Amino acid sequence: MHHQIKSLLHFERDSQFTKRVLILSLPSAVLFLTLISLNLLSPAISLLCYAIIILFNMFSLFPISYELQSLRKYTYSLANEQTPDPQTMNLSEKDARELANAINSIHKFWKSQTDSLKIQTMSDAAVLDTLPDPILTLDSQGNITNCNQAARNFLGNDILSHNLDSYFSTNIFIASVTKVLKGKSRSESLIFHASEYNNRPIYAHITRLPWETQGRTTAVVSLNDISKALSLEKMQSDFVANASHELKTPLSVISGFIETLQTTARDDADARDTFLGIMKEQTEYMSALIEDLLSLSRLEMNRDKELKEKVDITEVIDDVVQALKIKAFNRSLDLTVREDKKIPKIIGDNQQIHQIVQNIIDNAIKYAQANSEVSIEIKNVAQIPSAPGQNIAAGKAVSIAVNNKGPKIDKADLARLTEKFYRMQVHKDMKIKGTGLGLSIAKQIILHHRGNLTVTSTSYNGTTFTVYLPVKQK
Ligand SMILES: Nc1ncnc2c1ncn2[C@@H]1O[C@H](COP(=O)(O)OP(=O)(O)OP(=O)(O)O)[C@@H](O)[C@H]1O
Ligand SMILES: [Mg+2]
C-alpha cells in the first residue's frame, strides 16, 4: 500500500489508464444493467456496486500502468545512451521486474559488444595512421568515407565526405577509380603525375572491397609518392651511364692509337713514342677510375659496418703528406701542417679516413695556384656545425681544414663539387686529370662517420675544405 501511494505521487497521467479501467468495468456494467432490467437489483445498489468495481479496477490496474510507464522511460533512456540506475525504478510486479532484468542483460550485452567494436575500430585507425602512405576509402559515388593521417597530411584535414575528384583531376586516375567503383574491375594499379601536387609521380592502387557495405565503403585507394624512388633509380642509371662513358672515352683513344700504330704509323718511331705515352696516360686514368668505382662500391657494401677502430688523425695526415710531398714539390707548393695540442684519437675506420684526407689534400695540390702554399690545420672543436637532413654526431670533434690558393669558386659550382663525376669546366679546359669521384667518395665516408664537410672560397683566401669528424660515434 505504501509503495502504491508513493507511486501515485510520481505517477504521470497515462492517457490509456481511463480507457483500460472503463474497458475492464464494461462487463460489470452490462451485468448490472441486465440485473436492473430484470428487477433483480435496485438501480441505487447497482450504481454503488459498479462504483466499487470501478474503484477496485482502478486500484488493481494502477501499479501495472505505473510500472509499464517506468519501464518505458527506462528503455527510452537506455536507447538515448544514458545509463539510468535500474534500482531507482522500484518495480513491485514480478513480471515487470523480470522484463527489466531482461532489458538490462540485453543492454549490457550490446554495450560490451559496442565497446569492443569501438576499441577495435580505434586500434584499426591507429594502425592505419602509422602507415606512411595515404590510404582512403570511398563510397560508390567516390566520396571519401574514411582516411588515415598520411592522407590528411597529403590532402588536408577536412577531406571526409568530399569527392575524390575534387582533389585529383588526372583523367587516367579518376577513370581507374570509376572503373573499380562501378564494379567493372576488382582492382587497378597505375602511376600518374598529380598536377595539383607539383606533378609528383604517384603509384596508386585501387581495390574493390569483397563485401557489400550497404552503400557505404566500396573501394580502398592507396597512394604512394614514388618521386624519391624514381630519382634514386635515375641517379643509379645516370651513374652507370657516366661510368661507362668515362671508361669508353680512354678505351676508344687507346684502340684508335693501336690501329694507327698497326697501319700508318707502323714504321714511325717518333709517333710510336708519343702514342705510347698517351696510351700510358689513358690506362693510368682508367685504373684510377676503376679504383674510385671500386671504392664507391666498397663503401656501399660497408654502409652498415660498425666503426670501432681508434684512429690517430695526425698520424694519418703525416702519412698522406709524406706520400704527396713530391707532387707538391713538382708544383712548387709549400705544404704546411699545423695542429692543436692534444688531438684525441677518434673512433672510425682508419683506411676510410686515410682516403678522405688523401682525396682532399690531393685536390688542394692539384688545383692550387703554382708557387703558393697549401696549409693543413687540425683543430679540436666542441661541436660539428649542423647541416639540414644530415645525421651528425653530437659532442666533441676534430676538424681538418685544407686550404689552397687559387681563383674563387662560384656558388653554383661549390654546391655541385661533391656530386659524382662533377668536374669544373675550368679544370677540364686546363686538362687537369681527374675522374670527378674523389670528393663524392670523401663525402660518403664523412657521412658514414656522422661528420660534416664544408667548403668556402674567396678570391683573397682561396678555397678551404673543412672535414669534421666526431671523436665518438655515440
Ligand atoms: N681544392 C680545390 N680547388 C679548386 N677546385 C677544386 C678543389 N677540389 C676540387 N675541386 C673541383 O671539384 C671537382 C671534383 O673534385 P673531385 O676530387 O671529386 O674530382 P677530381 O679531382 O676531378 O678527380 P679525382 O679526385 O677522382 O682524381 C674537381 O674536378 C675540381 O673542378
Ligand atoms: Mg680529386
Reported as a single tens digit per residue, the pLDDT across 181-225 is: 999 999 999 999 998 888 899 999 999 988 766 657 789 999 999
* Residues in CB range of 322: below 8 A, 6 or more apart: none
pLDDT band at 144 (very low <50, low <70, confident <90, very high): very high
Closest CA to 335 of 351, 350, 323, 353: 323
Residue 89 has pLDDT above 70, yes or no: no
Dihedral Cα 209, 210, 214, 217, nearest 10 deg: -10
- Residue ranges, comma separated, of all CATH 1.10.287.130 domains in the chain are 228-301
Q: Which of 222, 224, 223, 220 is CA-nearest to residue 139? A: 220
Sequence-ordered list of residues with C-beta below 8 angstroms from that of 50, at least 6 positions apart, any chain = 25, 28, 29, 32
Can you name the CATH fold of 228-301? Helix Hairpins (1.10.287)
CB-CB contact of 206 with 219 (8 Å): yes
**Confidence at residue 93, expressed as pLDDT on a 0 to 100 scale:** 67
462 ligand 1 Cβ < 6 A: no
- Is a pLDDT exceeding 70 seen at residue 137? yes
For residue 463, pLDDT over 80 is answered with: yes
What is the number of other CB atoms lying within 10 angstroms of the CB of residue 358? 19
Cα torsion 141, 143, 148, 151: sign: positive
Residues whose CB is under 5 A from ligand 2 (ion)? Answer: 363, 438
Nearest CA to ligand 1 atom 29: 423
CATH number of 305-470: 3.30.565.10
SS3 assignment, position 207: strand
| pTM score of the predicted model | 0.66
Mean pLDDT, to the nearest integer, of 367-377? 97
For residue 406 and ligand 1, the question of a CB distance below 6 A is answered with: yes
Higher pLDDT, 216 or 341: 341
Kindly state if the Cβ of 401 falls inside 6 Å of ligand 1: no
**From the CA of 333, which ligand is nearest?**
1
Instruction: State the residue for C-alpha cell 588515415.
Output: 148
Average pLDDT over residues 245-259: 93
Nearest CA residue ID for atom 31, ligand 1: 424
Residue 136 scores a pLDDT above 70: yes
Q: For residue 86, is pLDDT > 80?
A: no
Q: Whose CA is nearest to atom 8 of ligand 1?
A: 363
Taking the centre of ligand 1 as the mean of its atom positions, its distance from the CA of residue 385, in whole angstroms, is 23
Tens-digit pLDDT profile for residues 393-410 = 999 999 999 999 999 999
434 lines ligand 1 (CB under 6 A): yes
User: Is a pLDDT exceeding 90 seen at residue 66?
Assistant: no
Task: Write out the residue limits of the CATH 3.30.450.20 domain(s) in the chain.
Answer: 131-225
Is 433's pLDDT higher than 50? Answer: yes
Query: Residue 10 pLDDT > 80, yes or no?
Result: no
Closest ligand 1 atom number to CA of residue 418? 18
CATH 3.30.565.10 region(s) of the chain? Answer: 305-470
> b/e map of 200-209 (b: 16 or more CB within 10 Å)?
bbbbbbbebe
The three-class DSSP label of residue 123 is helix
For position 104, what pLDDT does the model report?
A: 81
Is the shortest distance between the CB of 285 and ligand 1 below 6 Å? no
Identify the pLDDT of residue 99.
80
Mean pLDDT of the 38-46 span: 90
CA of 228 to the centre of ligand 2 (A): 28
pLDDT at 1: 47
* Ligand sitting nearest the alpha carbon of 292: 1
With bands split at pLDDT 50, 70 and 90, how would you rate the model's confidence at 103? Answer: confident
Residue percentage of the chain with pLDDT more than 90: 67
Please state the atom number of ligand 1 nearest to the C-alpha of residue 427. Answer: 31
Give the closest ligand to the alpha carbon of residue 289: 1
Query: Which stretch of 90-94, 127-131, 188-192, 237-241 has the lowest confidence by average pLDDT?
Result: 90-94
Q: Taking residues 355-373, what's their average pLDDT?
A: 97
CATH no. for 131-225: 3.30.450.20
Task: Determine contact, residues 443/467, Cβ cutoff 8 Å.
Answer: no
Residue 289 CA to ligand 2 centre (angstroms): 11
Give bridge partners of residue 429 from the DSSP assignment.
none
Specify the pLDDT at position 361.
98
Specify the 3-state DSSP secondary structure of 425: helix
Distance 235 CA to ligand 1 centre (A): 20
Q: Report the chain's mean pLDDT, rounded to a whole number.
A: 90
Using the atom order of ligand 1, give the atom closest to the CA of residue 423.
29
d(CA 270, CA 104): 111
Distance CA 207, CA 223 (A): 12
Residue nearest atom 25 of ligand 1, based on CA coordinates: 438
Looking from the CA of residue 426, the nearest atom of ligand 1 is 31
- Report the pLDDT averaged over residues 430-453: 95
Ligand 1 touching residue 359 (CB < 6 A): yes
Angle between helices 227-262 and 269-301 (to 10 degrees): 160
Q: How high is the pLDDT of residue 210?
A: 82
At residue 426 the predicted structure's pLDDT band, cuts being 50, 70 and 90, is: very high
The answer on pLDDT for 50 being more than 60 is yes
Taking Cα atoms as reference points, which of 370, 356, 348 lies closest to residue 319?
Answer: 356
